[in-house]
């Protein structure tokens, strides 16, 4: 009898973690955490977050947490729970317990915003690969005044090592908090990406100049986390074609292919790739047109070269997926799992809706990012929900 064709609802193993289906909840910043009463400027998971994650947990399904700062300096938004205090860990334990109670699996996405952060939130100057600020938009989030981004401090080699240690400590704390693994956010113009991109990374030392040097910070951190928690419980998120946070680097195809070849040597649980069509702000057509303007050939605007470079490393693909376009890539060998983001915001039971071909509720962008006085609206309850 021939083997069944791989699809969304077939089992799959990522590293040390066995899954019963291949729909992944993508990391989604929602800014619903509670302000700590004991640790200034920090935020902790709360009961509302427990309910939110529980609603979206499924038997054998993978949830990747919202982006979670590894230190106070790593954060530039209100309402974002970190992974660097015991108080935060205790809050996350309730979240992971709720996910596990439904048979689900959870990876914590570890995050450093780098130059995208702000001293008004962290109390310290932002850091980056080089002293190059974001200039095409202001720092503007709920509960904060709109103001220009600050010029970041260029990390010294000693400070780079300190940041790497923050990631290692956060990874260990995440597993102690009940997570089944961790993922580093090395995409979307945050700190790792600020080393990747040539328009940001102007360094002339071992962390800048060449493709291997620009990827060194990422790969060193990968190796240190793998040594701490095991490669089978570790993943990396990349956006080879991202523009978010003014990432306008050159040599995209060459650099991310080389980086994926290196990651393929490390026996990771997975690499999480964002589709070129996806953008935080632009429409799909606008994004693809913009890629053409930076001289990336149309036949290269695909994740296929990176999939090939990763070899047998499992690939999660994210960005612009719907119930209609999510079924073909897995049997075609383009990726192994599919991550949904925005539709999980408005459909806590998204997996079952896709499984049973049921209509989806529209998401409300205005309720994506809190904090709000009524944090539950557009998060765990959807009073104005209508079908797509």
Whether 369 is a known active-site residue: answer no
Give the integer Cα–Cα distance in Å for 34 and 36.
Answer: 6
Give the integer Cα–Cα distance in Å for 98 and 102.
Answer: 7
Question: Among 268, 281, 377, which Cα is nearest to 16's?
Answer: 268
Catalytic annotation, pick one of 52, 53, 190, 361:
190
Give the integer Cα–Cα distance in Å for 341 and 360.
Answer: 13
Which segments of the chain are extended strands (E)? 12-14, 17-19, 23-25, 34-35, 43-44, 62-64, 68-69, 105-111, 127-128, 153-154, 181-185, 234-238, 270-274, 315-318, 337-340
Q: Which two tokens stand for residue 199?
A: 């328009």
- 105-111 and 62-64 strand pairing: parallel
Give the integer Cα–Cα distance in Å for 197 and 246.
Answer: 10
Q: Which two tokens stand for residue 86?
A: 């015991």
Find the Cα–Cα–Cα–Cα dihedral 249, 254, 258, 259, rounded to 10°. 30
Beta bridge partners of 270: 235
Active site residues: 190
């Amino acid at each position: 009898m021939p083997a069944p064709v791989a699809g969304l609802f077939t089992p799959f193993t990522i590293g040390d973690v066995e899954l019963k289906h291949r729909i992944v909840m993508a990391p989604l910043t929602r800014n619903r955490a509670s302000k700590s009463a004991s640790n200034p400027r920090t935020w902790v998971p709360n009961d509302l977050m427990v309910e939110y994650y529980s609603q979206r947990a499924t038997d054998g399904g993978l949830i990747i947490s919202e982006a979670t700062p590894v230190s106070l300096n790593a954060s530039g938004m209100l309402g974002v729970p970190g992974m660097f205090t015991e108080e935060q860990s205790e809050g996350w334990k309730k979240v992971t317990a709720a996910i596990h109670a439904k048979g689900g699996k959870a990876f914590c996405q570890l995050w450093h915003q780098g130059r995208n952060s702000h001293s008004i939130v962290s109390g310290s100057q932002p850091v980056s690969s080089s002293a190059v600020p974001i200039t095409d938009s202001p720092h503007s989030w709920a509960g904060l005044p709109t103001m220009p981004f600050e010029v970041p401090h260029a990390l010294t080699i000693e400070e780079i090592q300190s940041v790497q240690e923050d990631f290692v400590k956060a990874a260990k704390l995440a597993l102690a908090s009940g997570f089944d693994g961790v993922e580093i956010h090395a995409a979307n113009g945050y700190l790792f990406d600020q080393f990747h991109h040539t328009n940001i990374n102007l360094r002339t030392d071992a962390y800048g100049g060449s493709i291997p040097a620009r990827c060194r910070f990422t790969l060193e951190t990968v190796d240190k986390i793998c040594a701490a928690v095991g490669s089978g419980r570790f993943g990396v998120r990349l956006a080879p074609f991202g523009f978010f946070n003014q990432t306008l680097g050159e040599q995209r195809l060459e650099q991310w292919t080389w980086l994926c070849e290196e990651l393929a040597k490390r026996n990771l649980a997975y690499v999480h790739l964002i589709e070129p069509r996806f953008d935080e702000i632009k429409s799909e057509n606008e994004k693809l047109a913009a890629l053409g303007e930076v001289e990336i050939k149309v036949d290269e605007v695909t994740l296929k070269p990176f999939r090939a470079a990763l070899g047998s490393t499992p690939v999660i693909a994210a960005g612009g997926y719907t119930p209609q376009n999510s079924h073909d890539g897995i049997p075609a060998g383009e990726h192994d799992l599919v991550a949904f983001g925005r539709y999980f915001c408005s459909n806590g039971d998204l997996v079952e809706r896709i499984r049973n071909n049921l209509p989806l509720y529209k998401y409300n962008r205005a309720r994506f990012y809190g904090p709000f006085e009524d944090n539950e609206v557009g998060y765990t309850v959807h009073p104005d929900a209508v079908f797509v």
